[in-house]
Structure 1
C-alpha cells in the first residue's frame, strides 16, 4: 500500500499515453479488470466489440500487487473497471479515492450473496494450541472468492453483460448474448460438478494450503479441512495443524491432499508424505500463468480440468 502513493505521484508526470495504452479517443469500449475471473467474464461478454485488459500480471499475487502509473492511468481512463472489492485488492480503494475514474466501476462482491470466511477445525488460527484457546467459527471477513462457485460466476458474467450493454447501447444485444452463452456453459459445469459429487459417499477434502474455495464447498456440500483460510497471510503451519490434517487424511481414507495454483505446496507435500497419499492441484482461477493465458485458458476450461482431477483423486 505504501508504494501506491509514489505511483500516483508519477502518474501526474505522464503527459501522453505509453505505447501499451489505448488512445483516449478509442471508439471501442475499454474494460479493465484486476483479476483473471473478471477479465475472463468480461471478454466472454464483449467478444470483439471491446478491448479488455487484465491489470494483474500473469502469475502475480494480488495481495502484494503494486500498480504502476500506467495501470492507474488505465483505471482512470477505462469505460468499465471491474475488481473484486475484497482484501486481496484493497489497494484499489486507494487508487479510486485518489483519482476520478471516467467510467463505470463494478465490484464482483456486489453481484452475489456473500459468505463469511470462518476458521474450521484444525485450521491455523482455529486453535491456539499452546494456550488451549478455541477460536472455531470465528468470522475472519467476508469471503471474496465468489467466482469459485460456477453459478456465481454465471451471475457475475450476466451482470457484466448488462453493464456493457448500457455503455454501448448499439451493441447491447450482442453483449447480452455473449454473456448469456458463457453463463449457460458455466451453469452446465455446475450441473456436472453436482452430478459428480452425488456419486461420492464421502465429500471430505483436505487442503494443505490456503482455502479460497468456500463458495465451491458450499455449492456442493463439501466437508473441508485446510491449513489456512482463503486470505490467510500465514505460510508456516504449526506442528499441531500438520498433525491434525495428516490424521484427518488417514481417518477419512482420502487418496490425496490438495493445494492451489502458484503454491510451493510444501505443506501439502509434508502431509501427503506422512499419510502415504498423493497430492493434487485445484486451480482457483484467481490468476493464471503466462503460458495458460497465451494458450487461451478460461475459467471454464480450468474448472473443467479441476473436475477431471477430482474424478482422479476422490
Structure 2
C-alpha cells in the first residue's frame, strides 16, 4: 500500500504535464472488475470504448494499478469501480485530480450492502451460527455504519437485482455525459434489464423446485448477496474477502461432517482457486466438485470465449441445480 501511495503521488505530479484525452469517437469508460466492465459494455453499446484495468486471471483483491492504468483512469469520461476497502486508492486519486477527475460510480454506493459474516465452521468462527443480517442503509456516508468487527461484503453484483440497479446507474450517467445518445442508452438498459430479470426468475424457479437449500464451499465465500436473494444456506472455509487460502484441519473436518450428515452431493470451489480443500473434502466424502463463479474476474480463455455476467451466472444455475437435487 505504501508503494502504491508513493506511485500515486508521483503520477499526480506528472498528470499536470499530460495533454487532454486525445479526441476519439465515443466516451471512454474505465472499469476495475469484470461485472463493472460487462454492465458498462452492455449499456454503452457502440457509443463508448469500455476498458477493464483488472487483467484476466488476476484476483481483484491483490490488484495494484500500473502507471499506465492510472493515466487511463485520469483520461476517462466515466469510471465504474466497486468501492470496497481495497479500492481506497481510487478515492484518493479522484480527490487528487479535483475538477479534472472523471465521473465515478462506486457500485457499493448504488445498492443496499451487508456485512461479511462468520458462519459455523469457518476459520475464526464460533461453534454456533453467528448469522449477522445487518443491513447497511447506504446513501448517508456512501456505505453507512461499518460493523466494528466485520467489513462490508463487497460482492454486491452476485444478486442479479443489484446488477439491474448498477446497470441503471451506468445508463443514467452515460445519458448525462452524452445526451445525444440518451435514447440508445435507455433502450440498451431496458433490453439488458429484461435479460437480468429472466436470470433472476430462473434462479427463483430452480430454488423453489430444489430438494435442499444448503451449499458447501471448500473455499472463500463471495456469494452472500446471492444466497440472501434466493434463500439459500451455506457453509464455507472463509468469508468472501479473506486473505487466507489454506483452511485448518478443524474447518476441513467440519465441512466433511456437514456433507456427510446432510447428504450433500457437491462441494463447490470458486474461480482461480487451487481447489486443494474442495478436492480433499470430495475425496473423503464421495462428493463431486463444481465451480461456483463469483464473476469477480474471468480467465483469458473465458474472455476470449465471449463470457458475460449472464452466461457465467447461467453456468452457476446449471451447477446449483445439480448440487441442490
Give the TM-score normalised by the residue count of structure 2. 0.88
Which residue number in structure 2 is paired with residue 39 of structure 1? 37
| Aligned equivalents of 1:280, 1:92: Cα separation in 2 | 34
- Give ranges in structure 2 of 5+ residues lacking alignment: 133-148
- Structure 1, 89-98 or 75-84: larger mean CA deviation: 89-98
CA distance in 1, matches of 2:176, 2:95: 24
User: Shift in Å at residue 26 of structure 1?
Assistant: 2.4
| Equivalent residues of 1:206, 1:258 under 8 A apart | yes
| Match in the other structure for 2:59 | 61
In the TM superposition, structure 1's runs of 4+ consecutive aligned residues that sit over 6 Å from their partners are none
Deviations 1:52-79 (A, max 9, x none): 1101111111111111111111111111
Aligned to 1:5: 5
- Superposition map of 1:232-243 within 5 A: 232-243=242-253
For 2:129 and 2:257, locate their aligned partners in 1 and report how far apart those are by CA, in whole Å. 20
* Alignment equivalent of 1:220, drawn from 226, 230, 233: 230
2:125 equivalent in structure 1:
126
5 Å-filtered alignment, 1:97-108, equals 97-100=95-98, 101-108=100-107
Shift of 1:111: 1.0
**CA distance in 2 between partners of 1:104 and 1:24 (Å):** 17
Q: 1:212–1:284: 8 Å Cα contact kept in structure 2?
A: yes
How far off is 1:141 after superposition?
1.5
Q: Counterpart of 2:143?
A: none
Find the counterpart in structure 1 of residue 181 from structure 2: 171
Deviation at 1:10, TM superposition (A): 4.9
Q: What are the Cα deviations for residues 270-289 of structure 1, in whole angstroms up to 9, with x where unaligned?
A: 11111111111111100001
CA distance in 2, matches of 1:105, 1:270: 43
Matched, 1:26 2:20: no
Contact 1:211 1:229 in 2 (8 A): yes
Structure 1: runs of 5 or more not aligned: none
- Counterpart mapping for 1:1-314 below 5 A: 1-8=1-8, 9-10=10-11, 12-13=13-14, 23-100=21-98, 101-127=100-126, 136-137=130-131, 140-314=150-324
3-state DSSP of counterpart to 2:267: strand
The secondary structure found in structure 2 opposite 1:48 is: helix
Moved more, 210-219 or 139-148: 139-148
C-alpha distance in 2, partners of 1:154/1:294?
Answer: 25
- Find the aligned partners of 1:5 and 1:89 in 2 and give their Cα distance: 12
Q: Aligned with 2:205: secondary structure?
A: helix
**Aligned 8 A contact 1:81 1:103 in 2:** yes
What value does the CA root-mean-square deviation take over the aligned residues?
1.9
CA–CA distance in 2 between the matches of 1:223 and 1:277? 18
Contact 2:26 2:49 in 1 (8 A): yes
Matched-pair contact (CA < 8 Å) for 1:11–1:72: no
Aligned-pair CA distance for 1:117: 1.3
